[in-house]
Structure 1
Amino acid sequence: MILHQVRPWGGELSDVELQDGRIAAIRPSSTAPEGAAAGGETRADVVDGRGRLLLPSFSDVHVHLDSTRLGLPFRPHTGRPGVWGMMLNDRENWRTAEAPIADRTAFTLATMIEHGTTRVRSYAQIDADCRLERFDAVVAARETHRACADVEIIAFPQAGLLLEEGVVPLIEESLKQGADVIGGIDPCQLDRDPVRHLDIVFGLAEKYQVPIDIHLHEPGELGVYSADLILERTRAAGMQGRVTISHGYSLGSVSESTTRRLIDEFAEADIAMATVAPSVRDPLPLRQLTEAGVRVGLGEDGQRDYWSPYGNGDMLERTWQLAFTNGYRADELIEHCFAVASIGGAAIMDPGSERLTSVSDRPGLQVGDPAELLLLAGETVTSAVMDRPWDRTVIHQGRVVADQLGLAPLS
């Protein structure tokens, strides 16, 4: 396939050749694309870029595909404060939605793909109430859209590992059935037994040879305490490069020296961070994390669900939110947010791939890179983040999988 007249990262007009799922060549753009033969015949598929931006496709590395109402009628928010209150609100309502959980999950994944996401790491809630029903829905959505996106599934104990009977065996059963990652959540504040909680998480990770992703909503010094326990376990288990802390809302709130120490130790232990661009005052600063070499990815979290009315399947909108909540105005920093939303997340799913080490890094579009790509209208990358245009063509493994959006709502 040849992408004709595209602008990699907003640069000069180029023709980009794709072969075997990778970028094979990049050339200055010609009037007629290379591959055209005499008489107008073609020797290769040609996508008319029309001067659009060529960018790495999005990697959503923090999404709850099974917690979604996308495509359904809007409903008033009824959640109560706190993780447990929100979880109970979801538990009370998810079964009675206007469409089955499997349909909603598949629809949401399709919406994400059409908007430009081809790499996904999704949670699948497992608890004493839903058991493996929601996990099965995420597995089914992955199978439905297998040709259009790479999806990793996190076995996620949303209601804790220890508060209800039977959760740990269910988590283990999901790993036997092919869950890609094991999750944890608030070892101190929710389960109130961080030693046992982390024993289980790291023990199952070692037994099934899977990475770890731990939700950390805990405030201030309590959050730092849990982060230090995670660091300690990561080193002891030799799991450098295989642990992600999600959220970490308040890890930057204790002191400047603690912030600097955590960033340095996350870099040394190769612990990644996943953010949903929250409106909070004291997260670890994005620029410092990047410059230290900490892998940082972006995700949409829930999608208009029983936790929140926010989220619409569009990672370009969440990229705007990442720039906005960080107070970024300079083009370089806004473009960096796009790099985090694409290549930053890709490095969480594949720690051996190229990672960001500077706000000026613009990887993902070199010869040999995977052809996970997005054609997007816009004068510049920054203008596209601001305008969030609908003129998009999505490429996965060197093949067009979505063009110009347009899914009908679920009936």
Structure 2
Amino acid sequence: MNNMNRSLYLSNVRLTDGQRVSVSIVDGRIEALGAHVDAPRDAPVEDGGGALLLPGFVEGHTHVDKSNWGRAWYRNEVGPLLTDRIGNEREWRKTSGHDAAAQSLALSRAFVQAGTTRLRTHVDIDSDAGLRHLEGVLATRHTMREMLDMQIVAFPQSGMLIRPGTVELLDDALAQGADVIGALDPALIDGDPVASLNATFALAQRHDKPIDIHLHEPGEIGAFTLKLLLDRVEATGMQGRVVVSHGFCLGALPERERDALLDRIARLRVALLTSAPPSCTVPPLKLCRERGITLFGGNDGIRDTWSPYGKPDMLERAMLIGMRYDLRRDDDLMIAFDCVSDAAARGCGFADYGLRAGARADLVLVEADNVAQAVVARPVRKLVVANGRIVARDGALVA
């Protein structure tokens, strides 16, 4: 992100512990934060009016390239299987005139408006579309670069080995600007988990990129694939550079087998992502945190051919995480918020994050007594600061 000179003085705001502070921002970074902080010379002054100060939100897993956000309603009549949804989406994108550049830009702007300043998106790479969707999202990343730090995952949504030429396209995508190599259900989609994982790790090592794998595979099949994945993390030295998205199997295994996998996940510093879907099993949030595993949150798809649901509001996603994991106490709702803030930044590898001196100045102000109320009530964002610059006010973009 460009380090243009951006200074700002934000006064009269509250931290999550209730302390009233001011924030000095210089060159897009937090210079100081505390009760007695001087304003930078010639910096604009913004009175926060006693509002709650939060770090900019982090979307850990979405698909901005395929959203229908802002378009006419899509009538969903797709079949129940994963392969039904994949095939239907591929055909619809081919014939409907769906534009990944326009749609990713519309959704990214909506994310920023609601306080998201860091985002990881998976972008479809397949033998029908080639790199067309990637090119659209790369254009959006360039347009939004001053206010949204975007990571792009090259994602083989239609499978990798089952569609000849996809491995080569993924190789090209990483060379052309994708930040992460994605993967999808090596056993149930590709039909050969060993060969599929070998190809994924080979691409990661060739380009020195991290991995983010969609693992929908249930029960014992998912556990088998996960064990193979962990073997490769250990053998290739990729500890701390792999995310397992969804990981439904971890919510369905017998306790002994699950705990053995969680211990390996912790030791290998593999992070887990959940969208907290109500219709699927999910990894155990508190058990993961007790073991030191980073488990973070994301929306997955938003208003696309897969599902009519979703909204580019990470406070809403935190609320849904809280509901799915039965988080009711105020301190538990702090965990839900952590899933879309610090934990998500850590899981995705976003640097210089948080409310501390030296971090990039990504801040959100809301009218709420505390974090728990912010998550549950999801108030209009009073102010959004991205990279030291005010980009949204009272729920509307100003940048």
Letter in 2 for 1:3: L
Gap regions ≥5 residues in structure 2:
1-7
Separation (CA, whole Å) in 2 of partners of 1:282 and 1:308: 18
What is the match of residue 259 of structure 2?
260
Note the C-alpha offset of 1:72: 0.9
Are 1:402 and 2:389 an aligned pair? no
What is the match of residue 236 of structure 2?
237
Question: Matched residue of 1:54: which SS?
Answer: strand
Question: Matched residue of 2:340: which SS?
Answer: helix
Aligned residue among 388, 392, 403 for 2:378: 388
**CA 1:10/1:88 → structure 2, altered by over 3 Å: closer, same or farther?**
farther
Question: Matched residue of 1:151: which SS?
Answer: strand
Are 1:75 and 2:74 an aligned pair? yes
Aligned CA RMSD, in angstroms, stands at 2.0
What is the match of residue 346 of structure 2?
347
Are 1:365 and 2:355 an aligned pair? yes
What is the match of residue 323 of structure 2?
324
Separation (CA, whole Å) in 2 of partners of 1:98 and 1:377: 41
Map residues 91-102 of structure 1 onto 2, 5 A cutoff.
Answer: 91-97=90-96, 100-102=99-101
Separation (CA, whole Å) in 2 of partners of 1:379 and 1:315: 18
1:254-303 alpha-carbon deviations (Å, 9 max, x no partner): 11112211221111000011111111463221111122111222111111
What is the match of residue 119 of structure 2?
120
Gap regions ≥5 residues in structure 1:
37-41, 355-363
1:331-378 alpha-carbon deviations (Å, 9 max, x no partner): 001111111101111112227778xxxxxxxxx323333322211221
Contact 2:74 2:305 (C-alpha < 8 Å) held by counterparts: no
Identity among equivalent positions (%) equals 38
Aligned residue among 1, 7, 15 for 2:22: 15
Separation (CA, whole Å) in 1 of partners of 2:123 and 2:39: 44
Separation (CA, whole Å) in 2 of partners of 1:351 and 1:372: 12
Taking structure 2 as the reference length, what is the TM-score of the superposition?
0.93
What is the match of residue 148 of structure 2?
149
Note the C-alpha offset of 1:96: 4.6
Separation (CA, whole Å) in 2 of partners of 1:275 and 1:317: 14
Question: Matched residue of 1:250: which SS?
Answer: helix
Are 1:35 and 2:34 an aligned pair? no
Taking structure 1 as the reference length, what is the TM-score of the superposition?
0.91
What is the match of residue 4 of structure 2?
none
**CA 1:281/1:67 → structure 2, altered by over 3 Å: closer, same or farther?**
closer
Aligned residue among 347, 361, 367 for 1:377: 367
**CA 1:383/1:352 → structure 2, altered by over 3 Å: closer, same or farther?**
closer
**CA 1:350/1:391 → structure 2, altered by over 3 Å: closer, same or farther?**
closer
**CA 1:352/1:294 → structure 2, altered by over 3 Å: closer, same or farther?**
farther
What is the match of residue 297 of structure 2?
298
Contact 1:114 1:394 (C-alpha < 8 Å) held by counterparts: yes
Note the C-alpha offset of 1:398: 2.0
Letter in 1 for 2:358: G
Separation (CA, whole Å) in 1 of partners of 2:95 and 2:12: 49
What is the match of residue 85 of structure 1?
84
Separation (CA, whole Å) in 2 of partners of 1:26 and 1:171: 43
Question: Matched residue of 1:393: which SS?
Answer: strand
1:231-256 alpha-carbon deviations (Å, 9 max, x no partner): 00000000001000000112131111
Letter in 1 for 2:395: L
Are 1:63 and 2:87 an aligned pair? no
Contact 1:220 1:254 (C-alpha < 8 Å) held by counterparts: yes
Contact 2:352 2:359 (C-alpha < 8 Å) held by counterparts: no
Aligned residue pairs total 391
What is the match of residue 3 of structure 2?
none
**CA 1:266/1:351 → structure 2, altered by over 3 Å: closer, same or farther?**
farther
Question: Matched residue of 2:159: which SS?
Answer: coil
Map residues 159-198 of structure 1 onto 2, 5 A cutoff.
Answer: 159-198=158-197
Contact 1:122 1:151 (C-alpha < 8 Å) held by counterparts: yes
Separation (CA, whole Å) in 2 of partners of 1:352 and 1:34: 26
Question: Matched residue of 2:160: which SS?
Answer: coil
Are 1:284 and 2:283 an aligned pair? yes
Letter in 2 for 1:313: P
What is the match of residue 10 of structure 2?
3
What is the match of residue 359 of structure 1?
none
What is the match of residue 334 of structure 2?
335
Note the C-alpha offset of 1:51: 1.2
Separation (CA, whole Å) in 2 of partners of 1:351 and 1:294: 17
Question: Matched residue of 1:251: which SS?
Answer: helix
Note the C-alpha offset of 1:394: 1.6
